Amino acid sequence: MVDKVPAPSGVSVGDVLNGIVEHVAAYGAFIRLESGQKAMVHISELSHNYVKKVEDVLEVGQKITAKVIKIDEKARIDLSIKALQVKEPPARPVYREDDFEKKLTTFLKFSDEKIADLSKSKEVRSTKRKAGSGTTGKK
């Protein structure tokens, strides 16, 4: 039988809580919640953008608002700041119709030139063969 994780008093996954940054580590920040409980925000949960150092985003004493994303078997609270941020969609490349039209026109022009060159060389070869086929080399 699986035991249910005991939730810290009044906290459940999905709650949005306020707190103050108490300590910053290389892997995240420790937060003192308004209720007095401690929680942690992992570096990967700070922002949708790449974060090289936690100190680039948070500093000791800073007030934060975060969402509870996990409560583990030891009743440790994991928070996420990025879960409350609106993720902007990546910028779409600007599609210009003339780009395709221009490429197609260039391709057709180039291929027409190649076909014309091949036709000319084929005609030259066939006329040389015809001119040389009239003489057999015997007297």
What are the pLDDT digits (tens) for 15-61? 999 999 999 999 999 999 998 999 999 999 999 999 999 999 999 99
Asked if residue 65 and residue 36 are part of one domain, the reply reads: yes
User: pLDDT tens for residues 87-121?
Assistant: 887 777 766 666 778 888 888 988 988 888 888 87
Strand segments (E) across the chain: 16-25, 28-33, 38-42, 63-71, 77-80
pTM passes above 0.75: no
Whole-angstrom distance, CA of residue 139 vs CA of residue 135: 10
Q: Among 6-10, 31-35, 122-126, whose mean pLDDT is lowest?
A: 6-10
**DSSP secondary structure code for residue 6 in this structure:** P
Please tell me the predicted confidence (pLDDT) of residue 24.
Answer: 95
Residue 127's domain spans which residues? 94-131
Note whether 29 and 67 are same-domain residues: yes
Examine the domain organization and report whether 52 and 100 are in the same domain.
Answer: no
- Identify whether 3 is part of a domain: no
